[in-house]
Amino acid sequence: MNFFDFTVLDNKGVETPLANFKGKVLLVVNTATGCGLTPQYEALQKLYDDFGAQGFEILDFPCNQFLEQAKGSDDEIQQFCTLTYHTTFPRFKKIDVNGESADPFFKFLKNEMPVPTNEGNKIKNLAIAAAAKLSKAVHEDNDIKWNFTKFLVDREGKVVARFEPTVTPDVIAPAIKELL
């Protein structure tokens, strides 16, 4: 399978083939609305505003596996993100990213890029790693450790980078620009 073979559910439960995004540079993010990193939504929207017209999309997948920080229904998450952070990029149905119930799409992403490309701030990563141990998620070597892990995908559907949650969207901007 490749990236564009998958079909995911949008936040209304409608099947969305990822083939709809063929030819675009993509940033796939597992998110949460009650996390200390939630303000990254603002920086994600800035990326979308800066690069969207050039063929860039953000695919937002809320996940409640990390200390239940994405509480609420898909509609409530959508309302929170649009009202609080004015997000306009596509948001999908809440999913699991780790463990036996992990969505096949995220299993694929983790297999394609099992190790983060950029460790980011090590002190913050240690704090996230410690907090992740408290979560109910099962961690394996390539598991997602926390909310706001980001996968960068080129126009052909190749996963080219994986960024830990503490790597902020502005740090990723040059890589996006290069792919565009």
Domains of the chain from N-terminus onward: 3-179 (3.40.30.10)
Which position among 18, 28, 32, 35 bears the catalytic label? 35
At 69-116, the pLDDT tens digits run 788 898 998 999 899 999 999 999 999 999 899 999 999 999 988 776
Total-model pTM: 0.86
Spatial distance between the Cα atoms of 179 and 167, rounded to a whole number of angstroms:
18
Q: Greatest CA span in the chain, whole angstroms?
A: 40
Reply yes or no on whether 63 is catalytic. no
Beta strand pairing status for 25-31 and 15-17? unpaired
Please say whether the beta carbons of 40 and 149 come within 8 A: no
The CA distance from 6 to 157, in Å, is: 11
Rounded Cα gap, residues 175 and 167, in angstroms: 13
pLDDT, average across residues 115-143 = 48
What is the distance between the alpha carbons of residues 46 and 5, in angstroms, rounded to a whole number?
29
User: What average pLDDT does the structure give for the chain?
Assistant: 85
Cβ atoms of 148 and 165 within 8 Å: the answer is yes
